[in-house]
A and B are shown apart, each in its own frame.
Chain A
Amino acid sequence: MSVNAWIVVADQPTVGNLVTVARSLGGPVGAVVAGPRSVAETVANAGVDRVVWCHAPDDVPPEASAQAVADTVAADPPRVVLAGRNPSERVLLGAAAARLKAAVLTGARSVSVAGDSTTVVNAVFGDISDETVAVSGPVALLLDGGSAPPPAGQSAPIEEVAVAPLGVKVIETRTHGFEKVDLNAARRVIGVGRGVKAKEDLAMVEQLAEAVGAEIACSRPVAEGLNWMGKDRYIGSSGAHISPQLYLAVGISGQLQHMVGVTGAETIVGINTDANAALFTQTDYGLVGDLYQLVPAIISALK
């Protein structure tokens, strides 16, 4: 079989969306996994046609298998190679793309085939414009991986490959205190921006989250500069892209680098004191006012 689309997987099986996209292109779908065997097994059950498991020593990160991943993909060159938006996957995809001399696109809204050419509608420059790109030759796509794919019935055999790892070893792993979150799985999300003045004020937002039944996320400065939340809660162009039923933006200006992460939300509500904030051009319901008055009022109204 000649693989049409390779999915590159690291140590998390969150590739459901990649499987869907790969299948939509027609032709055999392969997955090359550089992570624990359990991840290879999950992917093997997801309705792909081939699974190659790069078996590396326990003390190396997925990045150490980048050349092995590139070898696998190059041995059966595809039309498309796909990976999810995570640091390790980006490294593996980069190695594959270099080996294939593939065109790399990271904002694909849609992918289709037309004979030998692959057509991608690609969002550029923080989402202000879409380019329709026709590619002759292999394409490497960075996409939202999605959730772990459910079992699809048949199971592909796992081909094990021993990896001579690149010179990277894991010495130590330290966890911080922040609770992990899967924003993709949340039906309602509240985003916190710099309009929230003090870390103590997050308690009020947490009350709102509980009343609404929502997860809490934030804009980039709140996760990185202020370090009030783990980086997995940051929504934006290089953070999480989510499509919840409800997104409530509190004290967020609405700059495109943030809002690009929630364009798929069903309903967007915004609270900001600045009537001219970009936020209000992207909301279904906008409240121009003081969040310190409105958030408590909404909590009361929900009781």
Chain B
Amino acid sequence: MRIVLAYKWTCDPEEATARADGTVDWSRAKPGLSTYDPVAMELARRLAEEAGAELIGVTVGGKGVGAPIASKAALSRGLDRVLIIEDESLADAGRSELAAVLAEAIRHIGGVDLVITGDSSVDVAAKMVPTVLAGELGWPAVAEVTAVTGQDGALRVERAIPGGVQVLEISGPAVLAASADAAVPRVPGMKELLAAAKKPAELLDLSALKVPPGGAVMTVTGRSRPERKARKGQLINTADPAAAAAELVAALRAAGAL
């Protein structure tokens, strides 16, 4: 069985700041594996270990995603090899474009039985790339996956639904998006980390993939800081909790909130 794990190397918006003109300053942010990708990697490697499958990492993006430290970080978490498509033009790519490139990368690898992704990326948090990817491949997709076992052709998938868990059986290739709390990723061991540099990391040119052109074109015509509903920002002195509570209740009643 051949499993692809699609991951992202990017910065956390918590470390970014928005300037007054709406542009975002990423200069103090340090890139890393997107927060929920290690969860997906843990789910994938459990399945790969159980099924004796090959586990291949794939990532696409702008400059920097092919940096050795990015590949080593991914390879230290149970991947056998990684394929990177790093191209400046992808830095600002939309979800559909990234999904289209991922689909071509998966076709390029060939013989892929399963694609596993994280819940969403830490920066964009769209939750759509896995589902558009599945649409591009014509495969079923399932999100909020908490467990996956079995063999290619007969996968047993658990996914969270409101109120509980549903067990599904999938009979062909599929795309699974792991829920953010599907597993606690194991801490990489020192040998795994040091061996990561020796595992294959292949940089593939975007032009080699022949992604079909066309599709909707997005142009950013303006940026702004979001208008936040102006908050009163009133602080109530809490030295005397009973007095503070009385003051709060009175204020909320006056404001019609209670």
Contact = CB atoms under 8 A, between A and B. Distances in A.
A256 interface: yes
Contacts of B234: 284-286
A38 interface: no
Interface of B: 13-14, 16-18, 22-24, 94-96, 99-100, 119-120, 123-128, 130-136, 138-144, 156, 159-172, 174, 180-181, 214-226, 228-229, 231-236, 238, 241-242, 244-246, 248-249, 251-252, 255-258
Interface residues of A, number: 99
A167 B24 contact: no
Majority-rule SS of B interface residues: mixed
20 contacts: A90-B143, A94-B135, A95-B132, A98-B136, A106-B126, A128-B24, A131-B22, A132-B222, A136-B216, A142-B126, A168-B140, A168-B170, A170-B167, A176-B164, A178-B163, A224-B181, A238-B127, A285-B251, A288-B235, A296-B241
A101 B229 CA distance: 35
Given A98-B99, A128-B17, A180-B163, A166 B140 contact: yes
Nearest to B249: A301
B216 A61 contact: no
Given A90-B127, A298-B249, A130 B216 contact: no
Contact of A104 (B128, B144, B220): B128
B223 A284 contact: no
Contacts of A66: 134-135, 140-141
Majority-rule SS of A interface residues: mixed
A126 to B, nearest CB: 5
B215 A137 contact: yes
A134 B221 CA distance: 7
A281 B233 CA distance: 7
Interface string A48-90: 0000000000000101101100100000000000000101101
Nearest to B24: A129
Contacts of A283: 231-233
A301 B233 contact: no
Contact of A287 (B96, B119, B238): B238
A167 B172 contact: yes
Given A61-B166, A124-B124, A91 B134 contact: yes
